Amino acid sequence: MRAVRYHDHGGPEVLDVDDIDRPEPGGHELLVRVEAAGVNPVDTYFREGSFQPSQLPMTPGSDFAGIVEEAGDWTPGFEADDRVFGTGLGRDHQGSYAEYVLVPTDRIAHLPENVGFGAGGGAGVAAVTAWRALIDHAGLEPAETCLIHGGSGGVGHAAVQLAAATGADVLTTASPEYHEALEGLGADAVFDYADENLEEVVGEYEPAVILDHRLDEYLDFDAAVAQQGARIVGIGNTVPEAGWENVPAARAKELRVHLMSMFNTPDLSRPLERLATLMERGELSIRVERSYSLEEAGEAQRAVLEESFLGKLLIEP
Ligand SMILES: NC(=O)c1ccc[n+]([C@@H]2O[C@H](COP(=O)([O-])OP(=O)(O)OC[C@H]3O[C@@H](n4cnc5c(N)ncnc54)[C@H](OP(=O)(O)O)[C@@H]3O)[C@@H](O)[C@H]2O)c1
């Protein structure tokens, strides 16, 4: 089978398409024929080496959607020809930028018939991160006000829809070209993140929950706009250092700050099954901006970091 692999860490140019043996599923594993693999910023962190994969050479890619080609001996609920999607690969298991991928049954769920492979392939990291952040960490409740920074991103656009599905009042920030689309996805108010009055405007809403994907940029902002006792969930940063310039102001708000990694999710199939239900009902729609071939994986990884788009980029083997 053909699989993208990096044999050493480095830039996008270290990605090769290799011909390798198709793996055999172990007892609790499924061999999935990949129809679509989501491209995520984290794929680039493993490739360049700031996050360490368990082995080299490594195939990148956490997310996938496809069809079960072969099931191991102990895979209750799954059999050959099932439509499936999932995430959590590309770190301690070979990833999904390949014609086939081996998936343990705790990282997979059935893909509803009315959901395309593109949407399923793009859902994993983005939607599970949104779920863990808003539901598991923040405990977001109906009618609470929730602020999602960067609503047009992979995580952001999933989080806007998930927050709306819980019945929360959803605020988000994005570049102006995406405002209308985000309102269509359930945002009650959308603000330009470059607006110089952003803190004042958002502060009037006093969000109870904040999803922050750029902690180095927004921690002070979060503390300034947050409601007393708010929950802030941090999922990302652009430089490793982040902190408050005004710690007493943050302390006075009795904030609870949660820092998380999706890869720590104990049983990924649990949120994946719920997300499948939301996708089936049309309450979660994963937007696909563009697809790339295996040979174009380096270009896809460059684009995910450098380009602006709404939703997700995919690899389609
Ligand atoms: N901890 C975890 O488990 C976890 C999981 C998933 C992702 N992450 C991290 O979360 C971050 C986002 O991931 P993603 O997949 O959603 O990436 P993405 O699809 O590239 O989205 C990034 C978003 O950030 C927006 N943005 C750029 N500059 C901004 C600014 N100054 N203020 C507010 N928004 C800004 C972009 O909007 P424009 O295009 O309009 O500029 C874009 O919508 C990444 O750092 C990623 O590594 C962490």
The domain tally of the chain equals: 2
* Ligand 1 pocket, residues with Cβ under 6 angstroms: 40-42, 125-126, 129, 149-150, 152-156, 173-175, 193, 213-214, 217, 235-236, 260-262, 304, 308
Residue with the bigger pLDDT between 56 and 249: it is 56
Q: Residue 269: inside a domain, yes or no? A: no
For residue 155, report the distance from its CA to the centre of ligand 1, in Å.
7
Per-residue model confidence (pLDDT) at position 15: 98
Q: What is the pLDDT of residues 192-211, one digit of tens each?
A: 999 999 999 999 999 999 99
Per-residue model confidence (pLDDT) at position 203: 98
SS3 per residue for 236-254: CCCCCCCCCCCHHHHHHCC
Helix (H, G, I), strand (E, B) or coil at 82: coil
Band (pLDDT 50/70/90 cuts) for residue 168 is very high
CA distance 221 to 250: 10
Per-residue model confidence (pLDDT) at position 67: 98
Work out the average pLDDT over 111-122: 98
Same domain, 152 and 225: yes
Mutate which of 213, 225, 262, 268 to test ligand 1's pocket (most atoms within 8 Å of Cβ)?
213
Q: Which of 25, 21, 27, 30 is nearest to 59 (CA)?
A: 21
Same domain, 16 and 139: no
Q: What is the pLDDT of residues 70-86, one digit of tens each?
A: 999 999 999 999 999 99
For residue 174, report the distance from its CA to the centre of ligand 1, in Å.
10
Same domain, 250 and 291: no
Same domain, 171 and 50: no
Same domain, 99 and 29: yes
Residue with the nearest Cα to atom 21 of ligand 1?
153
CA distance 19 to 2: 5
Same domain, 157 and 250: yes
Q: Tokens 């398409």 label which residue? A: 17
For residue 11, report the distance from its CA to the centre of ligand 1, in Å.
20
Residue with the nearest Cα to atom 18 of ligand 1?
153
Work out the average pLDDT over 179-194: 98
Q: What is the pLDDT of residues 11-51, one digit of tens each?
A: 999 999 999 999 999 999 999 999 999 999 999 999 999 99
**Region at 253 (left for phi over 0; alpha for psi -120 to 50; beta for the rest):** alpha
Question: Do 46 and 52 meet the contact criterion of CB atoms below 8 Å apart?
Answer: yes
Determine the atom of ligand 1 nearest the C-alpha atom of 263: 3
For residue 156, report the distance from its CA to the centre of ligand 1, in Å.
7
* Average pLDDT of the residues of the chain: 98
DSSP letter at 300? H
Per-residue model confidence (pLDDT) at position 88: 98
CA distance 163 to 168: 6
Domain assignment of residue 62, given as a range: 2-111+287-315
Sign for the pseudo-dihedral over CA of 24, 30, 34, 38? negative
CATH number of the domain where residue 100 is located: 3.90.180.10
Helix (H, G, I), strand (E, B) or coil at 34: strand
CA distance 67 to 273: 16
Ordered alpha helix ranges (H), 132-172: 154-166
Same domain, 222 and 304: no
Band (pLDDT 50/70/90 cuts) for residue 252 is very high
For residue 78, report the distance from its CA to the centre of ligand 1, in Å.
33
Same domain, 26 and 135: no
